[in-house]
Amino acid sequence: MKLENLYKKAIKTGIQNDLRDKEEIKKILKEEKGKYKKLKDEEVEYFDKDRLFNPFSDTRVLNGDLNTDVNKVIVGIDMEVGEIILTYLLNKELEQKIDLIISHHPEGFALARLYDVMKLQADLLANYGITISVAEQLMEKRIGEIERRLMPVNHNRAVDAAKILGIPMMCIHTPSDNCVTNYLKRIFERKKPYKLKDLTKILNKIPEYKKLAKLQVPPKIVNGSEDNKCGKIYVDMTGGTEGSKSIFEKYTSSGISTLVCMHLSEDYLENAKKANLNVVIAGHISSDVLGLNLLFDEIEKVEKLEFVNLSGFERISRNSKDS
């Protein structure tokens, strides 16, 4: 598969699994086209043209020619300088013939603009009955914080290593997180867990959560007890990084009783407790791996790939069996 086709398929799958109204995504891309047309000549070189077709700022090809043939990929949740040197050694010493490094967490200019994708969280909250002005204003404050936090980061470090060693590299973040969010939302809608213990039982049957449970990081109820009723469930696993810490009261006032997330900072959890919201932490790495596997299932429907698992990732395909 050409690198360009793999990239475009990842974007397409991300859009298909995006829980926003599809018209919303069309509007975002149209707006970008409008901005691009209005650029002055001296501004054109600073515009990232992928924004014209890719609504996910945290997903980009970071190094390599789009025409590269990709048969074998090395995939990890975090692909930093160490993993990139390891890839080089695998190719050089063990003749592994790895064509592409895929990181889940963003690197390079995809990390620098991670904040941009967080806007989608406001639309997801609005789908659950939270007033859009409240959702947008709380998110805008948080997006500003993340933008400023990312400004001093040496964000191109890993990409520079891949460049100097001549290894193509990309990161796939929100398209994969959209896949896991959509997958779990649909499972909960179908299986309708009654109590929190029924919800964790569903998670524990999924191979990615089973694997991390064996590594001592199982899904965990961090607020509420296993005999509490789930009520309305909200899966919060996409949109860049943690949203607003002031949102939890809005969840319960709009009817949500249970939050299922990948991880939650301590001060966020305190606010969730104050709002009497049940919270289940499904697991960070396990949820990220599940999202990537669901995304690769779609990519492999186009063409099979060979995988080298690294940095928390394990390829588990659902293509040949029902799930």
Give contact residues for Fe ion (rule: CB under 5 A): 177, 288
**Cα dihedral 66, 182, 108, 151 in deg (nearest 10):** 150
Quick one: 134 or 280, whose CB is closer to Fe ion? Answer: 280
The least distance separating Fe ion from the CB of residue 213, rounded to whole angstroms, comes to: 18
The nearest distance, CB 286 to Fe ion, in angstroms, is 10
Q: How far is the CB of 165 from Fe ion (least distance, A)?
A: 25
Nearer to Fe ion, 130 or 262 (CB): 262
In the complex, minimum distance from the CB of residue 130 to Fe ion, in angstroms, rounded to a whole number:
22
Cβ of residue 96: shortest distance to Fe ion, in angstroms? 26
Kindly state the smallest distance separating residue 31's Cβ from Fe ion, in Å: 25
In angstroms, the CA 174 to CA 110 distance is 11
Tokens of 13: 């799958």
307 closest CA partner among 298, 296, 323: 296
For tokens 């896991």, name the residue. Answer: 180
Q: Toward Fe ion, which CB reaches closer, 136 or 288?
A: 288
CA distance 171 to 316: 19
Q: Which residue, 79 or 275, has its beta carbon nearer to Fe ion? A: 79
82-115 exposure pattern, b = at least 16 Cβ within 10 A, e = fewer: ebbebbbebbeeeeeebbbbbbbbbbbbbbbbbb
- Which residue number, 208 or 288, has a Cβ lying nearer to Fe ion? 288
Residue 20 or 173 having the CB closest to Fe ion: 173
Q: How far is the CB of 257 from Fe ion (least distance, A)?
A: 24
Residues 6+ apart with CB under 8 A from 136: 122
Answer whether 239's CB lies under 8 Å from 124's CB: yes
Which of 207/231 has CB closer to Fe ion? 207
> 316: number of CA atoms within 13 Å, CB side?
17
Could you tell me the maximum CA-CA distance found in the chain, to the nearest angstrom? Answer: 63
